[in-house]
Structure 1
Amino acid sequence: MREGMVMSVVCRPALKEDVEALYELIQGYAAQGIMLPRSREALTRNIDTFIVALDGERLIGCGSLCRLGSDLVEIRSLGIADGYKGQGVGSKLVDALIAEAKLQGIPKVMALTYEAAFFQKNGFRIVDKEIFPEKVWTDCVNCPKQECCDEIAVVRIIEPAEKNEEISFAQM
């Protein structure tokens, strides 16, 4: 990737046409054991929770928000295509996901991650997983790593958007 290319990267809500590219990107991470796999059916069903990053027409990154309660969402399936890592694409996706949580009036955004430093750079702080019973009882209860989870919990508190405040993905 050439220097400065990240400026051409655009984030937008995912479309049904993105499912195959999302599936391939997520499966690459899942094969390494660093992301939960998602079926094409699950991606299609939850497409409205995803934001994608594009370099021209090429899908180069994704992330989704999963509502865990009235005041909490989780960033899930955050991944960047090889060749684009370390170029600011992940931060653009996190900004877009935070903007979406803000528009939905959700003040807390959490993630479970192996990349705590990345999230800290993006305004999150490390916390104990146990403060998120919503997450533990929704997903962790079925996870094979439940008893020996090595992911790090991070959280960011945000201010909800004003009623008349609009956030455009084109700005992301």
Structure 2
Amino acid sequence: MSVICRKAQQEDVDALYELIQGYAAKGIMLPRSREALSRNIDTFIVAQDGERLIGCGSLCKLGSDLVEIRSLGIVDGYKGQGIGSKLVDALMEEAKALGIPKVMALTYESAFFQKNGFNIVDKEIFPEKVWTDCVHCAKQHCCDEIAVVRLIEPAAVGERLSFAQI
């Protein structure tokens, strides 16, 4: 198996839709329409084995210093092989390239995120998320997802930090 992670392209929309719908049908991921996926394709990273799309994840900007990992999923038969971690690494690199210092997620798989350097935190520290998405969610008052966050590594030794970074 030779898995690569790459930016999603328009021709990936149908495979993304099928993968996400499988999770949505189980109630563990929000559904996304093909139109929404097409409009937001530039926010997705996909994992590919040969010609087959086997995983995905996206970043949603919630503020100038915060992005959320969304729609992180792996095709059955490929789970437990490190593909999710590869996707998270690619998404973290994307956040770093965008200059975003904080990455968060709401998840049922907190152990996976902790293994990937995230810490469990109180959801309420993310008013950007609450007022963007949670306010419209049916589970708003009984949310059972766990919030996790990871900070992008600070500047390398020898680089000067600006006051905005401290």
The interval holding the TM-score normalised by the smaller chain is over 0.9
Do the aligned residues in 2 keep the contact of 1:106 with 1:160 (CA within 8 Å)?
no
Structure 2 residue 111 is the aligned partner of structure 1 residue 117: yes
Question: What does residue range 23-172 of structure 1 map to in structure 2 within 5 Å?
Answer: 23-159=17-153
Unaligned runs of 5+ in 2: 157-166
After superposition, give the CA deviation of every residue in 1:54-83 in whole Å (9 maximum; x if it has no partner).
Answer: 000100000000000000000000000000
Relative contact order, higher structure (CA 8 A, sep 6+): 1
Report the residue type matching 2:32 in the other structure.
R
Cα 1:120–1:47, aligned 2, differ >3 Å: closer, same or farther? same
TM-score (norm 1): 0.89
SS in 2 for 1:144: coil
Q: How far did residue 159 of structure 1 move?
A: 2.9
Q: What SS does structure 2 have at the residue aligned with 1:148?
A: coil
Equivalent pairs counted in the alignment come to 156
Shift of 1:145: 0.6
Structure 1 position 160, deviation (Å):
6.3
Distance 1:84 1:126 in 2: 26
Aligned match of 1:166:
none
* TM-score (norm. length: structure 2): 0.92
Structural RMSD (CA)? 1.1
Aligned partner of residue 79 in structure 1, secondary structure: strand
2:71 is matched by which residue type in structure 1? S
Distance change (3 Å), C-alpha of 1:161 and 1:93: farther
Moved over 2 A (4+): 159-162
Residue 91 of structure 1 and its aligned partner are, at CA, apart by 0.2
Whole-angstrom CA distance in 1 between matches of 2:116 and 2:38:
28
How far apart, in 2, do the equivalents of 1:72 and 1:24 lie? 28
Unaligned runs of 5+ in 1: 163-172
